[in-house]
A and B are shown apart, each in its own frame.
Chain A
Amino acid sequence: DAKTTQPTSMDCAEGRAANLPCNHSTISGNEYVYWYRQIHSQGPQYIIHGLKNNETNEMASLIITEDRKSSTLILPHATLRDTAVYYCIVSRSSGTYKYIFGTGTRLKVLA
């Protein structure tokens, strides 16, 4: 079973920030949080990942709570092209490193 829970769906107005939450209350100390998104008929696209500290790149920001039991992916200025299913995954830093996907959050950006 997936170690993360996410809302099934969210809407966001174009140009506004999209904040996508993820709960991972059973995360272990050596597990990273990864975010991917999947646009119809494409493979998952890597967005960002982190361990403890907040992270930012050209696509998004990742905010991880101090107890690491939850995180939020922030798309600062959502566009119509950001409409996708967003997956939050926790994965160990040793062993198989396989991803266990949940059902993700279907984000719809509205014009």
Chain B
Amino acid sequence: GAGVSQSPSNKVTEKGKDVELRCDPISGHTALYWYRQRLGQGLEFLIYFQGNSAPDKSGLPSDRFSAERTGESVSTLTIQRTQQEDSAVYLCASSSAQGGNQPQHFGDGTRLSIL
């Protein structure tokens, strides 16, 4: 079946512009996660959705970052007034249940470059 899909795969934008990154999770997966990976580093947690609610936003680095999820499906991560330090790969993952031991399944990410 289809995996987690992210778009665009690459995004280049100028400093100060707003960007929207999209994640389509695996169908039926109720949990959705956003992570950020800077060059040469591990993944940093940003935000977690259970259904359309976000009980954990603790990883969002500033109020320029926001995310929403609709229809317990698609999620959008928005970065306003982008800065050069926002350059990274943004990864989305989904899993099938809130509890238990269901692993997260990742997309291939959006590579964001801020000029």
The answer on a CB contact under 8 Å between A100 and B41 is no
Given A45-B106, A98-B33, A98-B45, verify A93-B99 contact (CB < 8 Å). Answer: yes
User: Is A103 part of the contact surface with B, judged by Cβ < 8 Å?
Assistant: yes
Number of B positions contacting A (CB below 8 A): 27
Given A49-B103, A98-B33, A99-B104, verify A43-B42 contact (CB < 8 Å). Answer: no
User: Is A51 part of the contact surface with B, judged by Cβ < 8 Å?
Assistant: yes
The answer on a CB contact under 8 Å between B99 and A101 is no
Question: What residues of chain B lie closer than 8 Å to A21, measured between beta carbons?
Answer: none
Give Cα distance in the complex from A45 to B59, angstroms.
Answer: 22
The answer on a CB contact under 8 Å between B42 and A103 is yes
Residues of A within 8 A of B (CB): 2, 32, 34, 36, 41-46, 49, 51, 87, 93-94, 96-104
Question: What residues of chain B lie closer than 8 Å to A100, measured between beta carbons?
Answer: 45
Looking at the assembled complex, report how far the CB atom of A33 sits from the nearest CB atom of chain B, in whole angstroms: 10
User: Is B101 part of the contact surface with A, judged by Cβ < 8 Å?
Assistant: yes
Question: What residues of chain B lie closer than 8 Å to A97, measured between beta carbons?
Answer: 31, 48, 95, 98, 104
Give Cα distance in the complex from A104 to B41, angstroms.
Answer: 9
The answer on a CB contact under 8 Å between B55 and A96 is yes
Question: What residues of chain B lie closer than 8 Å to A32, measured between beta carbons?
Answer: 101
The 8 tightest CB contacts between A and B, nearest first, are A43-B106, A101-B42, A96-B56, A101-B43, A98-B45, A46-B103, A43-B108, A44-B106
Give Cα distance in the complex from A103 to B99, angstroms.
Answer: 26
Given pairs A96-B55, A102-B42, A103-B42, 17 additional interface contacts (CB within 8 A): A32-B101, A36-B106, A43-B93, A43-B106, A43-B107, A43-B109, A46-B103, A46-B104, A49-B101, A51-B101, A87-B42, A97-B48, A98-B56, A99-B33, A99-B35, A101-B43, A103-B41
